[in-house]
């Protein structure tokens, strides 16, 4: 059973455009939602994270939107650049637990 569902599987965006990746979850005990960026042959790197007591968090060109009632959260990349081309994973962690549950990943390609 996939606890965190991520879409789309792949995404192509023109340079300067907005990239949007969505995730949905079922477990209401999740209380921490990070997004990771992974380049080929490398480990994931934390991009931005949010807790469910806020509806939006922005860091530079990256924004997380969080809808607690719908149990959905999304990553928006503004002014997308070719260097943003990577695989993005959303994740969730249950309060009190230590392990992360990852979404399936989205392969993002930014065309120049």
Partner 1 sequence: GAVVSQHPSWVICKSGTSVKIECRSLDFQATTMFWYRQFPKQSLMLMATSNEGSKATYEQGVEKDKFLINHASLTLSTLTVTSAHPEDSSFYICSARGILGAADSGANVLTFGAGSRLTVL
Least spacing, CB of residue 40 vs partner 1, in Å:
10
Site string for partner 1, 5-24 (x = CB under 8 A): --------------------
> Using the rule CB under 8 A, is 46 a contact of partner 1?
yes
Instruction: Quote the CA–CA distance of 54 and 65 in Å, as a whole number.
Output: 9
- Preceding peptide of 8 cis, ω within 30°: yes
> Using the rule CB under 8 A, is 96 a contact of partner 1?
no
- Calculate ∠ Cα 27-29-35, nearest 5°: 75
Q: Which residues of this protein are in contact with partner 1, per CB under 8 A?
A: 36, 41-46, 89, 98-100, 102-105, 107
């Amino acid at each position: 059973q996939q606890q965190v569902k991520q879409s789309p599987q792949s995404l192509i965006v023109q340079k300067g455009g907005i990239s949007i990746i969505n995730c949905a979850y079922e477990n209401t005990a999740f209380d921490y939602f990070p997004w990771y960026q992974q380049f080929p042959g490398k480990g994931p790197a934390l991009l931005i994270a949010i807790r469910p007591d806020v509806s939006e968090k922005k860091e530079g060109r990256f924004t997380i939107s969080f809808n607690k009632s719908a149990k959905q959260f999304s990553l928006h990349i503004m002014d997308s650049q070719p260097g943003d081309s990577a695989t993005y994973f959303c994740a969730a962690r249950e309060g009190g637990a230590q392990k992360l549950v990852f979404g399936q990943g989205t392969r993002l390609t930014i065309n120049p």
